[in-house]
Copies of this chain bind each other. A is one copy, B any other.
Amino acid sequence: MTDKKPPVRRSEKSRQAILTAARELVAEYGFAKLTIEAIAARAGVGKQTIYRWWTSKGAVVLDSLIGDTPNGAALPDTGDLATDLREVMRLTAAEMASPEIQASTRAMNVAVQTDPALAEVYRERYLGPALASARDRLASAREAGQVAADADLEVAAEVLFGAIYYRWSLGLGPLDDAYADAVVRLVASGLR
C-alpha cells in the first residue's frame, strides 16, 4: 500500500505518526468509526499527506497493523505432528480471542473484505507466510511418515486455520484450547 515508487522526499516522521495514530484509533474506536480526518488530526498531519501516500482508510489501517504481528515464524518441530499443531492452533485461537487485539484484527478483516487490493496485500504479507509455515511442518511430518504420502498439505493447512477463522469471524463459539485441540485431532487423524 505504501507507494512502490521512489518516495524520495517522503517524510518518515509523518509516515510513522500516521501509522501510529491509525493503530491507536482503531484500537480505541474500531474500524467503522475511524475517519481519515481523525487520523490526520492525531498524527498532526495534513489530510493530503495521507491521501498522497495511501488510497483509502483500509490501506492505512492494513499498513499500520501488518508487520505488527509475529506471524512468519516457523512452527515448532518436536517430532510429533499433533503436538506441534496443537501448539500453534492453541496460540492462534488465543490470539484471535484476546480482547486487546480483537478490534485490530476485526478492522483488518473488514478492510480486507471490502477491498480486493487490500486482500491481495493481506494474503501475501500476512496469511501466506502463516500458511506456508504450517505447510512446511506438514511436509516434514510426511517425510517422517506421520502423514499419508498422497495427502493434500495445502488444503490441510487451510482447513486448520479456516476452522479458527470461521468460528472467530462469525462468533460460532468459544475459541479455547478445547476447540483448537478438537480441530487438530480431526485433521491430524485425517492426514494419516
Tell me the A residues contacting B by CB distance below 8 Å: 32, 106, 109-110, 112-114, 116, 119-120, 122-123, 127, 131, 151-152, 155-156, 158-159, 161-163, 165-167, 169-173, 179, 182-183, 185-192
Contacts and interface: CB of A to CB of B under 8 A. Distances in A.
A145 to B, nearest CB: 17
Contact of A166 (B32, B166, B173): B166
A170 B167 CA distance: 15
Contact of A165 (B32, B166, B190): B166
Contact of A183 (B116, B159, B188): B159
7 contacts: A109-B113, A110-B113, A127-B172, A155-B182, A166-B166, A186-B190, A189-B191
Contacts of A152: 182, 185-186
Number of copies of this kind of chain in the complex: 2
Q: 10 tightest CB-CB pairs across the interface, nearest first? A: A190-B190, A162-B166, A155-B182, A186-B190, A189-B190, A162-B163, A162-B162, A159-B163, A152-B182, A165-B166
A130 to B, nearest CB: 11
A186 B131 CA distance: 17
A114 B123 contact: no
Contacts of A119: 170-171
Contacts of A112: 170
Given A110-B113, A119-B170, A123-B171, 9 more contacts: A110-B110, A116-B171, A155-B182, A158-B163, A158-B173, A165-B165, A166-B166, A189-B192, A190-B191
